[in-house]
C-alpha cells in the first residue's frame, strides 16, 4: 500500500467533510426560508445589549416598562423595571444599570457599608427600600452565610454597557403601594409595588 496515496485520500476526505460542514452552517443561518420579507422586523441595536462584565453580551428585554430612572455621577443610569410582591412575604425589584462613565464600573459603593456585606464584592447589596408612609427602611435579604439575595456585578460593567440586576427585600405592609428604592449615592427612585403572579 502506498502511504502517499493514503495521505492524499485522507486529505481529500477531510476537505469534503469541512466544506460540507461549512455549507450546512451557512444554510442554517439563512433565515428559515419562509419566503416572507423581513422588512418589518427590526434588528437589535447596540444599545439593546447587556453585559454582566464578563465580556458576554445578551439581548435586553425590549418590552420591559421602566418604572423609574435616575442618573448618578459621571453618567451612570439606574432603571427599575419591576417591583413585585411575592407570596413568600418579600419584594423582588429588578432593573438595569447603564455605564455611561469613562471607565469600567465595579459597583464598589453599591455593596453597602456593613462588614457582613463585604464578601458580596461589587454588588447591589447596599440597596434599600424606604417606606415614607410607614417611616421604615427595608434592607436587602441575605442567606444564612450573609450573601445578599441580589445581583453581583462580577468583573464590573464595561464602559457603554448595560447590565441587568435584581434585589429582594422584606415586603412592606399590604397597604404600602409606593416605596423609594435607593442605592449608593444614586438619587432615590420612587416605585410602585405590584402583586406577583
* DSSP per-residue string spanning 16-31: HHHHHHHHHHHHHTS-
Tell me 172's DSSP state. P
pLDDT above 50: residue 53: no
Helix or strand or coil: residue 84?
Answer: strand
- Could you give the CA distance from residue 39 to residue 54 in angstroms, rounded to a whole number? 34
Q: Is residue 18 part of a domain?
A: yes
- Residues 58 and 114 reside in one and the same domain: yes
State yes or no: pLDDT of 55 exceeds 60.
no
> CA-CA distances (angstroms) from residue 81 to 13, 78, 135, 154, 178?
55, 10, 24, 21, 14
- Measured distance CA(112)–CA(119) in Å, rounded: 11
Residue 43 falls inside a structural domain:
no
The answer, yes or no, to whether residue 58 has pLDDT greater than 60, is no
Instruction: Note whether 190 and 109 are same-domain residues.
Output: yes
B/e letters for 59-77, b = 16+ CB within 10 Å, e = fewer, are: ebeeeeeebbebebeeebb
Residues 19 and 82 in one domain: no
Average pLDDT over residues 107-134: 84
For the cut 70, the answer to whether the pLDDT of residue 180 exceeds it is yes
pLDDT at 8: 52
pTM score, whole prediction: 0.66
Is the Cβ–Cβ distance between 115 and 158 less than 8 Å?
no
Mean pLDDT of 54-74: 68
Question: Is 39 a domain residue?
Answer: no
Of 12-21, 62-71, 122-131, 154-163, which gets the smallest average pLDDT?
12-21
Both 88 and 166 in one domain: the answer is: yes
Least confident of 50-59, 92-101, 134-143: 50-59
Mean pLDDT of the chain: 76
**Are residues 188 and 91 both part of a single domain?**
yes
Q: Let me know whether 10 and 70 are in one domain.
A: no
Examine the domain organization and report whether 3 and 92 are in the same domain.
no
Write out pLDDT tens, residues 26-49: 444 444 444 444 433 333 333 444
| CATH number of domain containing 140 | 2.60.40
Identify which has the larger pLDDT, 109 or 62. 109
Do 62 and 151 sit in the same domain of this protein? yes
90 shares its domain with 20: no
Q: Are residues 125 and 28 in the same domain?
A: no
In this structure, the chain runs to a length of 197
For residue 183, is pLDDT > 50? yes
Domain hosting 108: range is 48-195
Same domain, yes or no: 27 and 114? no
Q: Are residues 5 and 78 in the same domain?
A: no
101 exposure class (CB count in 10 Å sphere: 0-12, 13-18, 19+): middle
Nearest to 52 by CA among 195, 194, 138, 157: 157
Query: Are the C-beta atoms of 84 and 142 separated by less than 8 Å?
Result: no
Please tell me the total count of domains within the chain: 2
**What local confidence, expressed as pLDDT, does residue 80 receive?**
96
Confidence of residue 177 (pLDDT cuts 50, 70, 90): very high
Amino acid at each position: 500500500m502506498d502511504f502517499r496515496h493514503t495521505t492524499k485520500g485522507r486529505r481529500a476526505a477531510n476537505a469534503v467533510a469541512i466544506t460540507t460542514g461549512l455549507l450546512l452552517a451557512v444554510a442554517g443561518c439563512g433565515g428559515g426560508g419562509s419566503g416572507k420579507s423581513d422588512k418589518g422586523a427590526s434588528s437589535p441595536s447596540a444599545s439593546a445589549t447587556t453585559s454582566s462584565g464578563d465580556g458576554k453580551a445578551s439581548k435586553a428585554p425590549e418590552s420591559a416598562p421602566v418604572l423609574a430612572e435616575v442618573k448618578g455621577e459621571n453618567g451612570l443610569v439606574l432603571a427599575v423595571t419591576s417591583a413585585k410582591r411575592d407570596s413568600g412575604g418579600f419584594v423582588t425589584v429588578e432593573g438595569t444599570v447603564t455605564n455611561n462613565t469613562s471607565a469600567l464600573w465595579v459597583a464598589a459603593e453599591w455593596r453597602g457599608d456593613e462588614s457582613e456585606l463585604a464578601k458580596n464584592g461589587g454588588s447591589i447589596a447596599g440597596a434599600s427600600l424606604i417606606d415614607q408612609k410607614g417611616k421604615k427602611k427595608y434592607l436587602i435579604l441575605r442567606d444564612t452565610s450573609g450573601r445578599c439575595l441580589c445581583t453581583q456585578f462580577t468583573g464590573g460593567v464595561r464602559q457603554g454597557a448595560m447590565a441587568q440586576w435584581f434585589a429582594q427585600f422584606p415586603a412592606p405592609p399590604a397597604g404600602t403601594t409606593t416605596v423609594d428604592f435607593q442605592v449608593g449615592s444614586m438619587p432615590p427612585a420612587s416605585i410602585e409595588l405590584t402583586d406577583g403572579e
